[in-house]
A and B are shown apart, each in its own frame.
Chain A
Amino acid sequence: MSRWRSLPEPTWARVSYPQIDFQDIYYYAAPKMNGAPKSLDEVDPAILDAYKKLGIPLREQEILAGVEPQNRVAVDAVFDSVSVVTTFRAELAKAGVIFCSISDALQEHPELVRKYIGSVVPVTDNYYATLNSAVFTDGSFVYIPKGVRCPMELSTYFRINEKNTGQFERTLIIAEEGSYVSYLEGCTAPQRDENQLHAAVVELVTMDDAEIKYSTVQNWYPGDANGRGGIYNFVTKRGDCRGKNSKISWTQVETGSAITWKYPSVILRGEGSRGEFYSIAVSNGMQQVDSGTKMIHLGKNTTSRIISKGISAGRSQNTYRGLVSAHRKATNARNFTNCDSLLIGNQCGAHTVPYIESKTSTATFEHEATTSKISEDQLFYCMQRGLTAEESTALIVNGFVKDVLQQLPMEFAVEAQKLISISLEGSVG
């Protein structure tokens, strides 16, 4: 904490916000419940209701309601920084998978947590990560043992309820040799006039031949049309491909938050490892998004792929910022980056700031970026076939982001598609 106090707030991103009074945010807010909840039945029905309105997948609600669907998803729900429930724990334990809150993990598997926590994102990494390290209260912990393919999708729901809350959860996922896990993260917050701060840290570690697929659908409250209220989403996410031929894939659909400032990154340390980043960032109203990725090629024959689709509407500003670097020893490193921006309306901005650093001649980096607006001719064509202006826009936008949507698990993709349409409501004049 004392280290954090001594750091200046970073100012380099293309975002602007009033200086946050960090004394004004409750660092830890337990959800208002009577006693420790043992099951979701004890969760405030108003919260579940709000869930519904905010577009939590229907299947998720069924799980919460105790209905067992066909494709099961284990859920860890984190409300206001406290993990309230983790489902399917017993069944996962049979496969050797540990999926629980960090606080439980500290009790039950302290050696694992100590070995890995802070090893990818050190305490001193950056301003908000330092703050998180100082005050983090809970989060999810996942451990996939050697050779295990996690039998179901794991999922965490984050939700900020209390006003003036800062949410500072921490997620740690470890995939041992030859293992695989797909992890989904959903974020929601109800409407508030005040700004809330979300400063999470996510750390991923993959050993030889292991793979982690991490998907996020972020729908924090973006503030009203005049930019009042909304979440400040300053998140540090980083994966470390430590083992040979390991793989980390980030997929994100960012539609919410007043300000989003995040760069899910991959350190490609293991020989032949692969990093992927697929992103859809939608901004409308007064939202500001500054997001992208870092692909740090350290090992031989490492590959990475970046597909970023930014959509700006209203008076929003949407920036892609990314780094691809190859160090001297990263021979035969390969990167392909495609970064497209779509503008809807003439009061928004779309920006692209890639850094491409190659220190070896055998690396091949390709980067392409385009910015364009929704074509009037395409809109007219769709409308001639009977679609309304909004339906036409949604259809074209969905086509624009298709390459990324395909990376999401099916149910999430459908949900994300709806979210994008909802986020763009009112953007077509």
Chain B
Amino acid sequence: MNVKVTTIRTAAEAALIERFPALKAGLPGPAAPREQAFATFMASGLPNRRVEAWKYTDLRAAMREAAPLAPKPDAAQTTVALKGNSPLAGQGAVTLSFVNGYHVGTEGTVPSGVTIVPLAEALGSGHPLLARMGTLALAQGDTALALNTAFMTDGAVIHVAAGAEVDGPIALTFVTAGPSAIATAARVLMVVEAGAKVLLVESHEGQGKLAHQTNTAVEIIAGDGADVQHVRLGLNSEGAVALSTLTADLGAATSLTSVNVALTGAMVRHQVYARFSGGDARAQINGATLLQGQQHADSTLVVEHAAEPGGESRELFRTIIDDEASGVFQGKIIVQPHAQKTDGRMASNAVLLSQGAAMYNKPELEIFADDVACAHGATCGALDDELLFYLMSRGISKAEAEALMIESFVGAAIDDIAHEAIRDVLHGLVQEWLKVRAARINAGAGV
């Protein structure tokens, strides 16, 4: 009954297929994992709307052409790229800087209990921890992650020793810069041994309006009782197609907090794959997204409870959508048959600020165990008129009242970051976004 469909490759797909053999030879480490990952990509091609997981984000349409993979920048390019001041500069106890997907320098001191090896070096030397890279079955088959694996240029392998309470954040800054659109593929593997505590902060920054194609992946493997905090900031170039994937494999009684703040980029998609491999783990996974213009942002998340007791997961995604922008939330909680006592709660709330804005919510529950308490909620709508009126009746201007409401709405997703200074930086960025918006409205009103 099923009809065979002949695959027609798009220009971007054809270009990737044509370039891969030569690139693979020049990239560090063994070729086999790259080939395997590329085969995954070949099987599916660039995902389009007919692929369920990409229903609302048509990557094939967004990537009409495949930008060339960036070469390693020279010293002059690096200096220019790092000239801009990162909002999170100075927050890390140690900060690794990457330009166009290549490690270009390390500042600060690596805290005790932590070892960091640049990925290119680790791949070249056959670092033993690499055996644990790409092992989360839940994420296998994901096209974005497969493309990252096939083309990864550099990144970091981070090891946190058992019981280490790491003092100060480990910061990674990824800057994309250059005279023309480029593709980058950075990869981070962080193995946190039992009982250790660590905060990882990544900041992705792009300059100008170019349509860079960035694809980053961070893998976290947390041993029993580990406490991992993760913050990600997306400040891509205006035209960027930015894909990012976070995978988390959680041991027994671990705690994970991950907050993603997405602000710029033409089409950004952040994916989270979290698996509760050990019993009684806890995860708080948040997203704060503010969109304007024609931006499109997608938060896609799969949380699998696979051990007993099933643990507790909390997801909070807040999205603000202005102008003609569109937002996507796809979240799935899976509870495996034996993962009894799972307590999962997922919420996606979106506020649409303009008539042209759109939000697509798809919260899913997939439950095979009976002794669970799982729930999801999804709302979308305009700002509460009555509250707005109340604030305005107290003499606050409409723009300011809206800003107050938006700030507290989005702020709820940021507040789970325990590190005060970093939390303040992110709140500040939201306020900055709102100021720009207010200025735009005022300018518009003046015309």
Q: Which residues of A line the B interface, CB within 8 A?
A: 6, 8-9, 12, 19, 328, 331, 341, 343-373
- Known: A346-B371, A349-B367. Contact between A8 and B2, CB under 8 A? yes
Taking the closest CB of chain B, its distance from the CB of A343, in whole angstroms, is 4
CB of A8 within 8 A of CB of B3, answer: yes
Bound form: Cα–Cα A359–B2 in Å:
34
- Known: A8-B1, A343-B367, A369-B365. Contact between A360 and B355, CB under 8 A? yes
Q: Which residues of B line the A interface, CB within 8 A?
A: 1-3, 52, 55, 321, 337, 340, 350, 352-382
Taking the closest CB of chain B, its distance from the CB of A267, in whole angstroms, is 19
* Residues of chain B contacted by A363 (CB below 8 angstroms): 352, 380-381
Bound form: Cα–Cα A341–B368 in Å:
12
* Residues of chain B contacted by A9 (CB below 8 angstroms): 1-2
CB of B1 within 8 A of CB of A367, answer: no
- The closest CB in chain A to the CB of B374 belongs to A371
CB of A372 within 8 A of CB of B373, answer: yes
CB of B378 within 8 A of CB of A354, answer: yes
CB of A19 within 8 A of CB of B377, answer: no
- Known: A360-B352, A364-B381, A367-B377. Contact between A373 and B361, CB under 8 A? no
- The closest CB in chain B to the CB of A324 belongs to B361
* 6 A-B pairs closest in CB distance: A361-B352, A364-B381, A356-B361, A343-B370, A352-B365, A367-B378
- Known: A352-B364, A369-B365. Contact between A362 and B372, CB under 8 A? no
Taking the closest CB of chain A, its distance from the CB of B377, in whole angstroms, is 5
CB of A347 within 8 A of CB of B352, answer: no
* Residues of chain A contacted by B337 (CB below 8 angstroms): 346-347
Taking the closest CB of chain A, its distance from the CB of B358, in whole angstroms, is 4
Bound form: Cα–Cα A363–B379 in Å:
10
CB of B367 within 8 A of CB of A358, answer: no
CB of B380 within 8 A of CB of A358, answer: yes
Bound form: Cα–Cα A370–B365 in Å:
9
* Residues of chain A contacted by B364 (CB below 8 angstroms): 351-354
* Residues of chain B contacted by A372 (CB below 8 angstroms): 372-374
- The closest CB in chain A to the CB of B342 belongs to A371
- Give which listed residue, A331, A368, A373, contacts B377 with CB less than 8 A: A368
- Known: A9-B2, A12-B52. Contact between A368 and B375, CB under 8 A? yes
* Residues of chain A contacted by B380 (CB below 8 angstroms): 356, 358, 363-365
Bound form: Cα–Cα A372–B373 in Å:
5
CB of B367 within 8 A of CB of A350, answer: yes
Bound form: Cα–Cα A8–B354 in Å:
40
* Residues of chain B contacted by A366 (CB below 8 angstroms): 377-379, 381
- Known: A341-B365, A372-B373. Contact between A362 and B355, CB under 8 A? yes
CB of A371 within 8 A of CB of B365, answer: yes
* Residues of chain A contacted by B381 (CB below 8 angstroms): 358, 361, 363-366
- Give which listed residue, A353, A355, A373, contacts B370 with CB less than 8 A: A373
CB of A349 within 8 A of CB of B365, answer: no
Taking the closest CB of chain A, its distance from the CB of B367, in whole angstroms, is 5
Bound form: Cα–Cα A369–B362 in Å:
12
Taking the closest CB of chain B, its distance from the CB of A137, in whole angstroms, is 23
Bound form: Cα–Cα A367–B380 in Å:
9
* Residues of chain A contacted by B366 (CB below 8 angstroms): 349, 351-352
Taking the closest CB of chain A, its distance from the CB of B206, in whole angstroms, is 28
Bound form: Cα–Cα A367–B362 in Å:
10
* Residues of chain A contacted by B365 (CB below 8 angstroms): 341, 350-352, 369, 371
- The closest CB in chain A to the CB of B56 belongs to A357
* Residues of chain B contacted by A362 (CB below 8 angstroms): 355, 382
* Residues of chain B contacted by A371 (CB below 8 angstroms): 365, 367, 372-375
Bound form: Cα–Cα A347–B321 in Å:
42
CB of B352 within 8 A of CB of A354, answer: no
- The closest CB in chain A to the CB of B321 belongs to A361
CB of A361 within 8 A of CB of B354, answer: yes
Bound form: Cα–Cα A270–B337 in Å:
45
Taking the closest CB of chain A, its distance from the CB of B313, in whole angstroms, is 13
* Residues of chain B contacted by A341 (CB below 8 angstroms): 365, 367
* Residues of chain B contacted by A369 (CB below 8 angstroms): 363, 365, 375-377
Bound form: Cα–Cα A373–B341 in Å:
10
* Residues of chain A contacted by B369 (CB below 8 angstroms): 343, 346
Bound form: Cα–Cα A351–B376 in Å:
12
- The closest CB in chain B to the CB of A22 belongs to B1
